[in-house]
Chain A
Amino acid sequence: MKERHPIDDLFREGLYNSEAVPPAEVWERVVAQRSWGHRLLAGLQRRWAIGLFALLLVGTPLAWYGVRSDAAPVAATSASTPAATPEERSTSLAAKQGDEDLGPNAGAQTLPDSLQESNVVHAAEHTQGADGIPAPNASSVPKQRSNVGPHSSTSDQDNVAIAGAGVNSRKTEEPELLTYERSGDKEPGAGSVDEAAKTVTATSASIRPVAEVDALTAPSGSGKLVGSGTDDYFDMEFLLAHPHRIEYPRRLDSMLVNDRPVEAPYVLPNGAWWLGVQFGWNEWNGGWTGASPLVDELNQAEEWQSGWQAGVVGGRTWKSGFSVSLGLEVANARSRFLFNGAGNNDSDTGAYEFVLDTTWQVNAVAPDSSYVVYTYSFDLVAVPIGERGVRYSANNRYTLLNIPLEIAWQKNVKRFTFAPRLSLNAGLFIGRNGTTLENGSNVDTGPTTIPANDPRADDRFGMLLSGSAGMDLGYAITERIQLFAGPGYSTVLTSFGDNALRPSINGFTVRGRLVYEFGMMQRKARP
């Protein structure tokens, strides 16, 4: 009963049928909001799972484009850089040794074999070579050139790789023009580094000892050699972004034998193998599908819940960032089974109920059938009592052996890795605990409960083929060990069992993976 108040009535009378003219643009906005594009967008916003998938679709090519844009300029350079002449294959260095004054016109000198670490500044930059040395951002190479020295570079390629410069650490008043020209045969390890030479100017004031780059961020020494530390030579961003893609000698002098650069001892491998362990947690939805009459009953009775999986996985990541992996997992899916038995008359409970069965019989009396005898008979019939109205409850557990085949693509940003992934998974049921339903012996009795591992239910638990998509965020704990974690969505694509009744479950997954990477570098044989 409503407790009306005079105030209520006052406002209802005054406001219930009131009108106000809305602005004209409201209708236009309604029309716009109901347009196809807007509704599609709104639908996507509501379903964050689809939004995540769209992010994967959009993010992957964008990230791919990002990597390609890093490599493209240098690749072009490699292709257009003219081959070095034999004369250019000598390495000279215009450098001041010891305490000698270093003037701008100092002649080119041969780089000593034993350049000391304290008076060497590395300023080399590598380009994409035949062996796949990755290409740092070529635009970071300074465009200054020296005209000093007989073997200065004459190349017009501004963005070719640079060699190095060696000076002492003594400061002078005037900027010292240091020229180091390096050229040589095209060597597999060095790639186009040696196809052209470039001079570099540097001031002693800007020279400092080689930065001890963290072994993680620039493993095995970065070929993106350290210059002034403030100029474009030192592209730490690139190093951090590609921690495991660059394998250069730490010291430039290790590249110089008899005044000539030699093949870099470490080159980028085509790929790296890795091994990992992974653990995942799933929230399952869905149910059973198929043409069987049990589908509806099972879907009402069984509510899928969460599950987990754990296993090992191994794979290979290529320098392009793509990786393929194969794993072996044990997975567990749980469900809650609740069934109100309509009666299981097949079972013999040992109890009976007595039913009075009454019938009328009409018998004509011979010979002319003009007389009829009515017979009323009644029988007391004993009927066995079945398991009527029994409530079955069980916590079902299904154990599967999963074999996931996954394709992922990785984009590294400093220590972090962004990795969208797609995978196919074959799942074999290796254990079933709990209760399920099976058709009764006749239509009237309805479904009956049977143990989940009953052979009669084997057909419905055939091999499952499921697909999943997700996105991982990785973090490099050490040089070789990375931890990945991220969400995903998984759904059963098909089943190879009984098509009349098969599980069709899907759900969101959170997965973690710890990876150990092998063979990050390849040592090239020295000539």
Chain B
Amino acid sequence: MRELTDQELVQGCLREDKKCQEALYSRYARRMYAVCLRYARHALEAQDVLQDGWVRVFDKLHMFRGEGSLEGWIRRTMVHTAISNYRKKSFQQERFGLEHLPEEPVAATAIDGLGHAELLKLVDQLPEGYKMVFNLFAIEGYDHAEIAEMIGCGESTSRSQLAKARRFLQQRISERHVKIHEGETSDR
């Protein structure tokens, strides 16, 4: 049986065809859930964001003009939903003394073997504000002006938080590398 194209699925969804809606969900739900997991604090919140995001996708699908990829449009919708969720949580600036973390270069070998789960775990360890900015800038590819507008902060704040997020991640990756290295040494 031929798989429906994105355009056909969109047309079906606009007709409120339940099968098309479910097919569209099945096609992109896993990727979108991964997006939500990066923005949310825990899995339950990610599921809420995913749910709200898909409701928004189906409600606003008529606004998709077909000029870009459907996946990109859904992804942006999910990101905006996650940001809305983030703003609702009345985020408070979290400080973990990151200002004192030295920015040290990460050894090339340190990033070897970093799988998806570990990367996700590292991102998840970021404080809320830093995680949001890092996700938007580093992974989604938004610039600081866009991020500032999206999350309602200044561009300088966005830059500052990105820098701190990087330092945090560098620190964690280095620590992991040291631990692995120590483990290998003791094995010998």
Interface residues of A, Cβ cutoff 8 Å to B: 2, 5-12, 14-23, 26-27, 29-31, 33-34
Q: Quick check: B54 and A30 within 8 Å, CB to CB?
A: yes
**A6-B106, A11-B138, A14-B115 known; A21 vs B30 contact (CB < 8 Å):** yes
B130 at the A interface (CB under 8 A) = no
Q: Please provide the chain B residues from 136 to 188 with a CB less than 8 Å away from any CB of chain A in the complex.
A: 137-141, 143, 166, 169-170, 173
Give chain A residues whose Cβ lies under 8 Å from the Cβ of B4: none
Give the CA-CA distance A106 to B32 in the complex, in Å.
89
Q: Quick check: A7 and B169 within 8 Å, CB to CB?
A: yes
Q: Name B30's contact: one of A6, A11, A20, A34 (CB within 8 Å).
A: A20
B7 at the A interface (CB under 8 A) = no
Q: Quick check: B119 and A2 within 8 Å, CB to CB?
A: no
Give the CA-CA distance A2 to B139 in the complex, in Å.
12
**A8-B138, A14-B119 known; A19 vs B30 contact (CB < 8 Å):** yes
Q: Quick check: B55 and A34 within 8 Å, CB to CB?
A: yes
Give chain B residues whose Cβ lies under 8 Å from the Cβ of A14: 114-116, 119
Q: Quick check: A11 and B119 within 8 Å, CB to CB?
A: yes
Shortest Cβ distance from residue B126 to the other chain A in the assembled complex, whole angstroms: 11
Give chain A residues whose Cβ lies under 8 Å from the Cβ of B122: 11
Shortest Cβ distance from residue A22 to the other chain B in the assembled complex, whole angstroms: 4
Give the CA-CA distance A27 to B33 in the complex, in Å.
12
Shortest Cβ distance from residue A23 to the other chain B in the assembled complex, whole angstroms: 6
Q: Quick check: B138 and A20 within 8 Å, CB to CB?
A: no
Q: Name A12's contact: one of B22, B33, B139, B143 (CB within 8 Å).
A: B139
Shortest Cβ distance from residue B186 to the other chain A in the assembled complex, whole angstroms: 27
Number of interface residues of B (CB under 8 A): 38
Chain A interface mostly:
helix
Q: Quick check: A33 and B116 within 8 Å, CB to CB?
A: no
Q: Quick check: B51 and A7 within 8 Å, CB to CB?
A: no
**A15-B38, A18-B34 known; A7 vs B115 contact (CB < 8 Å):** no
Give chain B residues whose Cβ lies under 8 Å from the Cβ of A2: 137, 141, 143
Chain A residue nearest in CB terms to B138: A8
B42 at the A interface (CB under 8 A) = no
B83 at the A interface (CB under 8 A) = no
Q: Quick check: B25 and A30 within 8 Å, CB to CB?
A: yes
B58 at the A interface (CB under 8 A) = yes
B29 at the A interface (CB under 8 A) = yes
Shortest Cβ distance from residue A212 to the other chain B in the assembled complex, whole angstroms: 52
Q: Quick check: B111 and A10 within 8 Å, CB to CB?
A: yes
Give the CA-CA distance A14 to B117 in the complex, in Å.
9
B47 at the A interface (CB under 8 A) = yes
| B50, B51, B58 interface centre (most CB from chain A within 10 Å) | B51
Give the CA-CA distance A19 to B71 in the complex, in Å.
13
Q: Quick check: A29 and B51 within 8 Å, CB to CB?
A: yes
Give chain B residues whose Cβ lies under 8 Å from the Cβ of A5: 138, 166
**A8-B138, A30-B55 known; A22 vs B116 contact (CB < 8 Å):** no
Q: Quick check: B47 and A23 within 8 Å, CB to CB?
A: yes
**A10-B114, A15-B38, A17-B31 known; A33 vs B51 contact (CB < 8 Å):** yes
Shortest Cβ distance from residue A259 to the other chain B in the assembled complex, whole angstroms: 73
Give chain B residues whose Cβ lies under 8 Å from the Cβ of A20: 30, 33-34, 37
Shortest Cβ distance from residue B66 to the other chain A in the assembled complex, whole angstroms: 22
Q: Quick check: A11 and B139 within 8 Å, CB to CB?
A: yes
Give the CA-CA distance A23 to B37 in the complex, in Å.
13
B120 at the A interface (CB under 8 A) = yes
Q: Quick check: A12 and B138 within 8 Å, CB to CB?
A: yes
Shortest Cβ distance from residue A38 to the other chain B in the assembled complex, whole angstroms: 9
Shortest Cβ distance from residue A194 to the other chain B in the assembled complex, whole angstroms: 65
Give the CA-CA distance A30 to B54 in the complex, in Å.
7
Q: Quick check: A34 and B37 within 8 Å, CB to CB?
A: no
Give the CA-CA distance A18 to B166 in the complex, in Å.
20
B123 at the A interface (CB under 8 A) = yes
Give chain B residues whose Cβ lies under 8 Å from the Cβ of A9: 138
Shortest Cβ distance from residue A219 to the other chain B in the assembled complex, whole angstroms: 49
Shortest Cβ distance from residue B53 to the other chain A in the assembled complex, whole angstroms: 9
Give chain A residues whose Cβ lies under 8 Å from the Cβ of B59: 34
Q: For the A-B complex with A7-B166, A22-B29 known, give 5 more contacts whose Cβ atoms are closer than 8 Å.
A: A7-B173, A8-B139, A18-B34, A22-B30, A30-B55
